[in-house]
Structure 1
Amino acid sequence: MTRNVSRRDVLGAAGAAAATAMLPAPALAQGTPPSVVIVGGGVGGATLARQLALHARGKIFVTLIEPARRYRTCFFSNLAMAGLNSGLAIDYDYMRLVFELGILVRHDAASAIDLTARTVKLRSGQSLKYDRLVLSPGIDFNNGAIEGYDEQTSKLMPHAWRRDQPIEVLKAQIDAMPKGGTFLITSPAPPYRCPPGPYERASMVAHVLKRQNPSAKILIVDEKDSFPKQKLFLDGWKRHYPGMIDWVPRKDHGGLKAVHAKSGELKCEFRSFKADVTNLVPPQKAGAIA
């Protein structure tokens, strides 16, 4: 019995083979499977763990370190906000990795790495030895880049850009907007997670407002003067949401400098903005363990 081999099969097998090839020779010679420890169970880490276990078939012992027991994807979250899919469709646990593929999932956090001893220290105090280590830390926010922005600010001006703040937080504010109100979303300078994401979110918010608050306006305050798939988005907005969405490039405001969460004001170099709901997507960097 044969089946067609997909590009994904080839890449997955190649990745597993490459990981095995890169393992130190002593680990391969001792008779026990070499150990790969992956720190971070988001999309990148969980996908790598799955592919290694799937294609290595017991020849590599895979451990995934992830403190959370459930993972909510950021991709497709905008569809959930717009009511185009269920929040359950973006919510996952790690049980299939454990029971179907034999991956050891440690619900803990990595606190330190000893490159000489090849160990990862966990927050619980335990240490794990590895032959090959992979870091997939996700993102952190560069809070110091904007004056006045901190964790407290994010409660009033939600980002909903990371799993610690679900999309429902933002949706509740959008649903409570006054008639004819203004929704504002910022788009940070690179690097940040999902470059088309802010424009996709603006589109999905427009989808909601067109139905429940058609006189509302949407502002996109951008830290860039161009953005991914720009023509596609601009054409789509003109066709489906004429007059509702206003994109403001950096050259028209000079860059975001400060926020005042209580007043809802965003201060830029030579212009200020104020909205009924502000979705402030802050500057980003790699997660702390990196």
Structure 2
Amino acid sequence: MAAGDIVGESIIWSADEQALYWVDIGGRRIQRLDPETGAHAAWQTPDFPTSIGLRKDGGFIVGLRREVCLWRPGGSFETFAVPEPDLPDNRLNEGRVAPDGAFWISTMQSNLNPDGSPRAMDRKSGAIYRIAPDGTVTQLTPREYGITNTMAWTSDNRFFFADTPANEIYLFDYDPASGALTNRKTIVSGFERGLPDGSCLDAEDRLWNCRVVNGASVARFSTDGALLDLIELPASWPTSCTFGGPDLTTLYVTSARFTMTPEHLATHPAEGSLMAVEHAGRGIAEPKFLG
């Protein structure tokens, strides 16, 4: 699909609707697609949207630039939590509903000017936060990451995370009772195809990681960092992925065209598109936020 996303991100599959939802950060919009009928809808957001998750009672939890909000299509964005009120120069980035029904969100120094143009970064100030269903915010890591990406929880209580400019993917031990993260180890470092962006898990606890910045691929890694597969894509900046479809066997991938020149876009029409890879693997159901 020629989505025209400036930065497509945070794609999720709604099994209830048999539809995809994702955000376009630079375009300040949330999009929906029914792959079966081709029906497409989009809603403008009051600030840069950075992530989206399903809610148990309907609607969505949405990360904007600074706030985490509750939202229903066509309705207003109701502020639910502000993870970093003391760091106005930071913004939210990756966000995902965890298996326990909490919403996890990560931060980074903002790389966006108010008009959406690129802004230089000069520090690592990103961290991971857990937002409980009652709105309690808990900081889970130090503020030591550059561009925070990838969130995935394995069935044996381990947690994948990535720092894009560092070109590293990490694996933590995860306590499902408290959300505590311990024993971080780097499992992928210096992988030569692009840089790590968003990811999803399959039913075998394998990580499918989008390789942004000319990576033009999705890499499948084991929990020890071994490369198991590499899917080539027509877009050079894939950003996030999810398994969808009635049997969760289609891999859907968003992409970006942020910072690309008109000349490049004229000869590379797939940039910023939504892509589908049939029978890539089998995914798992998306958790729902309990708040």
Larger radius of gyration between Structure 1 and Structure 2? 1
Q: Could you say which structure has the higher helix fraction?
A: 1
Q: Could you say which structure has the higher strand fraction?
A: 2
> What TM-score bracket applies, with the shorter chain setting the length?
under 0.3
**TM, length-normalised to structure 1:** 0.24
